[in-house]
């Protein structure tokens, strides 16, 4: 393209009109020479122009190349200018300065343009996404982290014990910054709910786009008892675990709680199994037990899992 521009310029000696090349993503809506006044004289030092994003998406990154010509149509300087994050239908004024002083003409050429991926959130046959958007930090509400705000609805006749979402966070040019798992619990039929997904890592607070999908949705027929909360504290001779479970089913139920304890290297120290009996339908039952730590061992991590259930009619 620049060869054609140079040939055209050489054929038009002493021209003073600039040549601009927009594309179907960026439109150059105005352009002029950039002047600087010194000692009551105006000197052309470059070009000034206004661009508009006409791509229909956010431009994550773009590079504009400006070539400057002398009166004989020869290229005397070329300057590349990169910019980020130009919103849909957004406009921006760009000033490009050259190190040359005998500028007679310039051309503007749009080079690389990278669009920010469109935010995407998909449901399934039972759970639909009503709306989704990026919510900027609000310290008066949900804290100082950027989040994905979504409205979801259960359009089925089933209650979902757990709905597991995966959110992928992107920067302005589509690079993956991080991935986060988000869980929603006890999602009942014909109910809408607002949810907020925040990156696990602090660094991606400036994410520009995302993709959210449902990885798994377990009904209460499958996940009848759910672990609701738990905590650990050290006591003389061992570790005390406290927490609670909830029976999501319509019948009285027993469940097995399996606790696995590990050291700092991830090696298993031991296991504790307790039976939680007679959990009433749709009720929460607390639990508490002590794990006697073996001598010369120290618990650094523990994992709780619920075992097979036994229903009582």
Backbone angles phi, psi at 57, to 5 degrees: -140, 175
Does domain 225-311 sit in CATH 3.40.50.300? Answer: no
Q: For residue 282, is it left (φ>0), alpha (ψ between -120 and 50) or beta? A: left
Tell me if the domain spanning 2-114 has CATH number 2.60.40.3230.
yes
How far does the chain reach from its first CA to its final CA, in angstroms? 80
Global pTM value: 0.75
Cα atoms in the 13 Å half-sphere on the side-chain side of 290: 8
CATH-assigned architecture of domain 120-219: Sandwich (2.60)
For the segment 61-103, what is each residue's pLDDT rounded down to a tens digit? Answer: 999 999 999 988 899 999 999 999 999 999 999 999 998 888 8
**Segment 167-210, tens digit of pLDDT:** 999 999 999 999 999 999 999 999 999 999 998 866 667 899 99
Per-residue pLDDT band at 313 (split at 50, 70, 90) = very low
Query: Distances from the Cα of 35 to the Cαs of 32, 51, 97, 103, in angstroms?
Result: 9, 19, 9, 11
pLDDT higher than 60, residue 139? no
Listed in order, the ranges of the chain carrying CATH 2.60.40.3230 are 2-114, 120-219, 225-311
Query: Which tens digits make up the pLDDT trace of 255-277?
Result: 999 999 999 998 999 999 999 99
* Per-residue confidence (pLDDT) for residue 14, from 0 to 100: 40
Taking residues 45-68, what's their average pLDDT? 94
């Amino acid at each position: 393209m620049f060869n054609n521009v140079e040939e055209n310029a050489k054929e038009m000696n002493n021209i003073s009109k600039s040549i601009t090349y927009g594309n179907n993503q960026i439109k150059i809506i105005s352009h002029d020479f950039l002047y600087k006044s010194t000692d009551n004289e105006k000197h052309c030092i470059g070009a000034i122009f206004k661009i508009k994003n006409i791509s229909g998406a956010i431009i994550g990154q773009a590079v504009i190349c400006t070539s400057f010509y002398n009166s004989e149509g020869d290229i005397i300087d070329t300057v590349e200018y990169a910019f980020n994050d130009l919103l849909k239908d957004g406009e921006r004024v760009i000033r490009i300065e050259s190190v040359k002083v005998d500028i007679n003409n310039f051309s503007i050429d749009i080079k690389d343009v990278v669009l920010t991926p469109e935010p995407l959130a998909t449901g399934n046959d039972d759970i639909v996404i009503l709306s989704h958007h990026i919510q900027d930090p609000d310290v008066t509400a949900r804290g100082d982290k950027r989040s994905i705000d979504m409205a979801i609805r259960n359009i089925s006749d089933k209650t979902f014990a757990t709905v597991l979402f995966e959110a992928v966070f992107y920067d302005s040019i589509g690079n993956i910054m991080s991935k986060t798992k988000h869980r929603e619990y006890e999602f009942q039929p014909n109910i809408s709910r607002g949810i907020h997904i925040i990156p696990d890592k602090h660094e991606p607070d400036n994410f520009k786009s995302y993709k959210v999908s449902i990885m798994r949705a377990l009904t209460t027929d499958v996940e009848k008892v759910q672990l609701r909360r738990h905590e650990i504290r050290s006591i003389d001779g061992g570790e005390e675990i406290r927490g609670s479970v909830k029976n999501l089913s319509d019948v009285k139920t027993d469940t097995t709680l399996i606790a696995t304890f590990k050291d700092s290297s991830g090696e298993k120290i031991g296991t504790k199994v307790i039976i939680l009996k007679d959990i009433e339908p749709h009720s929460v039952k607390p639990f508490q037990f002590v794990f006697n730590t073996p001598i010369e061992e120290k618990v650094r991590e523990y994992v709780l899992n619920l075992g097979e259930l036994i229903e009582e009619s």
